[in-house]
Chain A
Amino acid sequence: MPKSKIVYERSEGLSLMDNSYCPGCTHGIIHKLVAESLVELELLERTIGISSVGCSALNYDFFSCDMQQAPHGRAPAVATGIKRVRPNSIIFTYQGDGDLASIGIAEAIHAAHRSENITIVFVNNAIYGMTGGQMSPTTLLGQKTTTSPDGRTKAQGLPLRIAEMMATIPGATYVERVSVHNPQHVAKAKKALKKAFSIQKENKGFTLIEFISTCPVNWGMTPKDAVDWAVDNMIPYYPLGVFKDATVGEEK
Chain B
Amino acid sequence: MAKVLMKGNEAMALAAIKAGCDAFYGYPITPQNELPEYLSKHMALNGRVFVQSESEVAAINMVYGAAGAGARALTSSSSPGIALKQEGISYMAGAELPGVIINVMRGGPGLGGIQPSQGDYKQITRGGGNGDYYLYSLAPESLQEAVDLIKESFDIADYFRNPVMIAVDGLIGQMMEPVTFDNETPKWELEPKTWAADGDRSNREKNVINSLYLDPLMLEKHNLKLKAKYDVMRDKHQRYEMINVKDAEIVIVAYGSMARIARTSIEILEEKGIKCGMIRPITIFPFPDKAFRELQDSVKNILVVEMSTGQMLEDVKIANECERPIHFYGRVGGIVPEAEEVVSQVLKIIGGEDNA
Q: Which residues of B contact A (CB under 8 A)?
A: 22-23, 25, 49, 51, 53-55, 57-59, 61-69, 71, 73, 87-88, 91, 95, 197-202, 206-212
Cβ of A106: which chain B residues have Cβ within 8 Å of it?
54-55, 58
Q: Which 8 A-B pairs have the closest CB atoms?
A: A81-B65, A89-B199, A81-B62, A78-B65, A77-B61, A110-B54, A66-B197, A85-B71
Chain B interface: which of A24-32, A41-49, A137-145, A151-159?
A41-49
Q: Known pairs A68-B210, A81-B61; list 5 more (Cβ under 8 Å).
A: A68-B65, A70-B65, A84-B23, A88-B199, A110-B54
Q: What is the CB-to-nearest-CB distance from B170 to chain A, in angstroms, rounded to a whole number?
A: 27
List residues 60-83 of chain A with CB under 8 A from any CB of chain B: 60-61, 64-71, 74, 77-82
B54: A residues at CB distance < 8 A: 106-107, 109-110, 113
In the assembled complex, the Cα of A50 lies from the Cα of B68 at a distance in Å of 11
20 CB contacts below 8 A, A to B, read A46-B200, A48-B69, A48-B198, A65-B199, A66-B197, A66-B198, A66-B199, A66-B206, A66-B208, A67-B209, A71-B61, A74-B61, A79-B65, A80-B51, A81-B25, A81-B51, A81-B64, A81-B68, A86-B198, A114-B51
A90 at the interface (CB under 8 A from B): yes
* CB of A57 closer than 8 Å to a CB of B: yes
Report the bound CA distance from A106 to B65 in whole Å.
Answer: 17
A81 to B25, CA, bound (A): 8
| Shortest Cβ distance from residue B206 to the other chain A in the assembled complex, whole angstroms | 5
**What CA separation (Å) do A67 and B199 show in the bound complex?**
9
CA distance A114 to B197 in the complex (A): 23
Closest B residue to A15 by CB, please name it.
B206
Q: Tell me the minimal C-beta distance from A151 to chain B in angstroms.
A: 33
User: Do B69 and A64 touch across chains, with their CB atoms under 8 A apart?
Assistant: no
CA distance A81 to B88 in the complex (A): 12
How extensive is the interface on chain A, given as a class? 35 or more
The chain A residue with its CB closest to the CB of B52 is A114
A244 to B211, CA, bound (A): 36
Q: Chain B residues near A46: list those with CB within 8 A.
A: 199-201
**CA A208 to CA B24, docked complex, whole Å:** 26
Cβ contacts under 8 Å, B210 to chain A: 51, 60, 67-69
Q: Are A107 and B61 in contact (CB under 8 A)?
A: yes
For A48, list chain B residues within 8 Å (CB). Answer: 69, 197-199
Residues of chain A within 8 A of B57, CB atoms compared = 74, 77, 107
**Docked-complex contact A85 and B23, CB < 8 angstroms:** yes
| Nearest CB on A from B149, distance (A) | 24
Closest CB in chain A relative to B67 CB, distance in Å: 8
- Verify if A246 is at the interface (C-beta below 8 Å from B): no
A160 beta carbon closer than 8 Å to chain B? no
Q: Inside 8 A of A81's CB, which chain B residues have their CB?
A: 23, 25, 51, 61-69, 73
Q: Considering the complex, give the chain B residue whose CB is closest to the CB of A75.
A: B61
Residues A82 and B207 in contact, CB atoms below 8 Å apart? no
A227 to chain B, nearest CB (A): 29
Q: Is the CB of A68 within 8 A of B58?
A: no
A60 touches B68 (CB 8 A): no
Cβ contacts A169-206/B at 8 Å (1 or 0 each)? 00000000000000000000000000000000000000
A77 touches B58 (CB 8 A): yes
> Residue on B with the closest CB to A91?
B199
Chain B contacts for A85, CB-based, 8 A: 22-23, 49, 66, 69, 71, 73
Known: A46-B199, A46-B201, A48-B199. A82 touches B208 (CB 8 A): no
Q: Find A107's partner among B49, B58, B64, B68 (CB 8 Å cutoff).
A: B58
Q: A86's contact among B25, B69, B202, B212, by CB below 8 Å, is which?
A: B69
**In whole angstroms, how far apart are the Cα atoms of A61 and B59 in the complex?**
26
- CB-CB < 8 A to A109: which residues of B? 54
